[in-house]
Amino acid sequence: MNRRTIIILTLFAFLIGSVAMVWAMHLTLPEVFTIDKAQSKKPPVSFNHREHGDSFDCNVCHHNVEKGAMDGNSCFECHGKDPKAPDPSVSSAKENPFHIRCRGCHKEKGEGPTKCNDCHKS
């Protein structure tokens, strides 16, 4: 085999491996999960992770994916523990990381819930 063929086959194998890894991660994602550690003033939020994961790249929500730090840990591994990370236990729309990221995206796209009781349902 010539050098060019080896390079192309290597790149193709890398591509197939990458796609398989992303697909496997997608299959292990919870379909729906409850965000119940964020605050005590409102009911927990039921979040359809699979629906969002099918529509967006992971780094839209999981900012650490870009830095290579996303390893399946919960948002609460940092948020609420690390003083540098915004604390989700505050209800402020300007300080709560879920409110900032989720509501910001919903407003920007003009779709999705943006009011408290649209997400926090009793």
Quote the pTM value. 0.61
Q: Structural domain tally of the chain?
A: 2
Residue 5: domain span: 1-29
Residues in the chain: 122
- Greatest distance between any 2 Cα atoms in the chain: 66
Same domain (yes/no): 90, 68: yes
Same domain (yes/no): 9, 57: no
pLDDT in tens, 40-85: 678 888 888 888 877 887 777 777 665 444 555 677 778 888 888 8
Same domain (yes/no): 25, 35: no
pLDDT given at position 79: 83
The closest alpha carbon to 38, from 93, 107, 118, belongs to 93
Same domain (yes/no): 101, 50: yes
Same domain (yes/no): 106, 46: yes
Same domain (yes/no): 74, 23: no
> Which residue intervals of the chain are DSSP H helices?
3-28, 49-55, 97-98, 104-109, 116-119
pLDDT in tens, 100-121: 888 889 999 999 999 888 988 8
Same domain (yes/no): 62, 115: yes
Same domain (yes/no): 19, 52: no
**Residue pair 43/92 in contact by the 8 Å Cβ criterion:** no
pLDDT given at position 18: 75
